[in-house]
Amino acid sequence: MLEKIQKQISKNYEEMVQDRRYLHMHPELSHQEVHTPAFIAERLESLGIEVRRHVGGRGVVGIIRGGKPGKTVAFRADFDALPIIDQKDVPYKSTIPGVMHACGHDGHTAALLGFAKAMNDFKDQLPGNIVLIHQFGEELSPGGARGMIEDGCLDGVDFVFGAHLQSQMAAHKVYVRDGFLQASEDSFKITVNGFGTHGAEPHTGVDPILAASHIMIALQSIVSRNADPLKELVVSVGSFHSGQADNVIPNEATMEGTIRVFDPELRQLARKRLTEIAQAVGTGLGCTVEVDILTGYDAVCNDETAMNLVRQGVQNVYDAQTIVETDPIMPVEDFSYYLQHKRGAYFFVGAKMEDDEFVYPHHHERFDFYEPAMEMTAHVFAATFFEVQKMENES
């Protein structure tokens, strides 16, 4: 049956391209999606697939009920876009000013729709059930995953899988990893309060810019002197603002940044040390310091058994050389919450453009990806589904 489904997926490829390009032309920002979930729901309903709308807010869940007993397997795709101006010169360029799909979520959605159509064609012969999770708001914390989970998208699910198209990873490859794959994220804001004065008389005030500068440098000691050097940690300041005139020492300086880490204990240590260092350095230089830390997504941690099911599925439809054991990466992903509730795995599908002239990183204004990677994603989903069902038969 898998071979028949693979052929059907390949037949659906041109429709995947059409869906992807339509979505690319009509992107919607995180937590503002209206047209996109309606488009997805209508497409699934047109196939006769059972659909729940407004799951967790703006999510869509489709259910394909197989005609034979077996496990229930969920597959997830996100569908939100980013506040970026699309600078590509292509026919499917975004038509929404200042908004574009710069991370491949349009491709994730199209791939899952193509997979759903093929699987639904054979639903009476399928063992078990398929849950199609179309998620909103991944790009902007608090994300859509937790709301959808609370609203029951994983009820009755045995395994959950997801994939991300990667524009800088070689096409025709599937990238897998056991354990930690993507980091956790916490964002922070440090406000340093001094006492403003004339720039020519600094001794009559307390300079928050000086204190904030020393704090920013001291924060680097968290990575170099507090963290285990064998464990990954990033503490970065991405925003530093203070003052409005060249001859005025202001009252306040602020900086904002991010903490990226895999290990949960190291995450807590980094948060603790950031607060301690900022307050101690600022106090030592005569300032008062406020530290606000916003907890972001947890790290993506793959279940080894589930990841092995993906590996075997890839070998069944391609070969062992298609599989690449990848290193973990620091960008975050709220697929992590699905994995905290169910066994599952998240993997990457190489989608690097064939011409290097068109290769750009995610979140870039000229981002694009190799569209056949959508077909590959659907193939791997299908093969993985059947690997899960083999577990049922062998147990």
Active site residues: 80, 138
Neighbour-count burial of 91, counting CB atoms closer than 10 A to its CB (0-12 exposed, 13-18 middle, 19+ buried): exposed
Nearest to 261 by CA among 197, 319, 336: 336
Which tokens is 357 given? 């002239």
Torsion of CA 279, 283, 288, 290, to 10 degrees: 0
The neighbouring-strand residues paired with 302 are 179
The single-letter code of the amino acid at 279 is Q
Other beta carbons within 10 Å of 60? 30
Instruction: Give the position of tokens 């639904």.
Output: 120
d(CA 181, CA 329): 6
Which tokens is 12 given? 């659906």
Helices 35-46 and 105-121 meet at what angle, rounded to 10?
A: 20
- Show Cβ contacts of residue 23 under 8 Å, excluding neighbours closer than 6 positions: 36, 39, 79, 101, 106, 109, 110
Which tokens is 7 given? 């052929």
